[in-house]
Amino acid sequence: MPVELKGIGIVQAFNTVTVKPRIVGQIMQVVFTEGQTVRQGEVLARIDSRFLIAQLHQAQATRAKDEAQLGQCEEGFGPSDRRIRQGLCLPPARGRATGAGRHVGAAVQADQAVLENTQVQLDYATVTAPIDGITGIRMVDVGNVISPSDPGIVVITQVKPIAVIFTLPADALAAVAVGQAAGSIPVEVFDRDDKTRLVSGRLALVDNQIDRTTNTVRLKAAGRIGLFVVIARQEQQHASGENADGQQNGDQKFLRSHI
């Protein structure tokens, strides 16, 4: 005899991300359309980057100037001063020159750090999708100045895969545990009429806490957007322990969800 367990559930996306800019600037272009399926790394919007390009050129020029000064300092050391350049010895007569060379060398390293930071900021001017998913309603229009503290540009929801979160009575945990011990529990999602199957999947997990106010436990399985009534059914093992083909037949469970 089958054992049926009913509960109410909703669909929950595996990942939902609010795409926000990482720099302050004017939106120059919005590339995506609302409801579009996007891939990770796909361009969504572009922010005015002209000032960042200017800063990048300035950083490149500063580094080039300091590298030239460093080259002049190194040319002042003859072949016999190799040990001085390596810092192995520091004669008093050349101490100031060596200190100046080290100072310029440190300036070149600082210039490189500024250059890399500016390049990162410039990369942030191109806003890309952090995950695969579907875009929602656009939250900003072209021409607006946006900052990281603003609500964002768009919300991306990952729908492949997607989860169904539902509840069952705590008393059903024993039956679910039997099914899990036998293997992965299949999941079937049905329409409200209990006739149209929408999707099939597997039970993902059983929550580790019981709601004491309702004496229910939450479970996660596969599904799609909507309200679900979930039925857990256990097919009892044949008395002989074998199926029609003579193979060992363990307990089987599956969850039927109704939208």
Q: What is the pTM of this model?
A: 0.65
DSSP assignment of 98-129? HHHHHHHHHHHHHHHHHHHHHHHHHHHTEEE-
Place of tokens 């960042």: 52
The pLDDT assigned to 253 comes to: 43
The pLDDT assigned to 128 comes to: 96
Q: What is the dihedral angle through the alpha carbons of 4, 8, 9, 10, rounded to the nearest 10 degrees? A: 140
User: Which stretches of the chain score pLDDT less than 70?
Assistant: 1-7, 74-101, 189-192, 194, 198, 222-259
pLDDT digits (tens, 9 = 90+) for 45-100: 999 999 999 999 999 999 998 888 877 776 655 544 554 455 544 454 455 556 66
The pLDDT assigned to 156 comes to: 95
**Close Cβ partners of 185 (under 8 Å, ≥ 6 residues apart):** 176, 179, 202, 203, 232, 253, 254, 255
The pLDDT assigned to 232 comes to: 43
**Close Cβ partners of 115 (under 8 Å, ≥ 6 residues apart):** 56, 59, 60, 63
The pLDDT assigned to 4 comes to: 64
Give, in order, the Cα–Cα distances in Å from 178 to each of 173, 231, 233, 237, 244.
9, 16, 11, 12, 22
DSSP H or E stretch at residue 198? strand 197-202
**Terminal-residue alpha carbon distance, the chain:** 26
